[in-house]
Amino acid sequence: MVQGLKIRRFSQIMIISVLSLCMLTACKGSGSGDAADGTDGSTVAGSAAANGTEVNKTTEKTSEIPGGTLPDWSEIKAKNPGAVVVIRIEGKNSDEIVTSGTDGVYIDSGNDTGFTDPLTVIYGSKEISTLGDPDVFGKHPHIYIYQEHQIIEYSVFAAMKGDDSDVLAKNNVYDYDTYCQFINNVYSSRSMEADYDTSLQKQVTKSWQTLMISDGNGSGSSFIVYATADKTYTL
């Protein structure tokens, strides 16, 4: 069972509708409607402050490695010069190397490779399919993004079939109200196989830093996992 309330769409549509309306109202109340219109992640914190929005800024220095052992970056760079991060799903035994190209597992070309954007999109993952099992969804709620000098910890809040095409082009997530509407749409999905963790709703909107991972290549219907930033660990 997911921490908090996990909702299956086919049985509780009315509850999700009410929660979604409340969530959107909360977003409107948090922002002035004039959030960032910049084009890089450095604008997010300042714009959030202007809107009275709490951006998750938890950073910890750590000697222990969250999620397990550190990737061997010398080996990774030797084999994959375009590698930007390594992604690891809690409970899985294999990592995925994310590149800045368009093959394998890769980050959207519209994203900053430092994972500072309000919404970072990764395509081509083959490891996220396990989160489509409702019994697994709440058992391993963390995703770790390993960079050479830091680790970002995310909590999974939704998993479902959805459209992964032109996500960044369709949603100006640098505008806080637009970001809130995007999250509202995720929680309002009518996918019969969608899983949610509603206990994370406030964190998702306040953090203004979501990770979207698709098993597709940006061409349409795919299995998608959404996660919200929890902590950043410096090494």
The reply to whether CATH 2.40.260.10 applies to domain 13-234 is yes
More confident residue, 177 or 27: 177
pLDDT value at 26 more than 90: no
Mean pLDDT of the chain: 80
pLDDT value at 11 more than 60: no
pLDDT value at 53 more than 50: no
Nearest to 107 by CA among 116, 98, 119: 98
pLDDT value at 136 more than 80: yes
Burial 128-165 (b: 16+ CB within 10 A, else e): beebbeeeebbeebbbbbbbeebbbbbbbbbbbbbebe
What does the pLDDT read at residue 219? Answer: 92
Q: Are 22 and 29 in contact (CB under 8 A)?
A: no
Q: Are 59 and 231 in contact (CB under 8 A)?
A: yes
- Exposed, middle or buried by CB within 10 Å (0-12, 13-18, 19+), for 217? middle
pLDDT digits (tens, 9 = 90+) for 177-206: 999 999 999 999 887 789 999 999 999 999
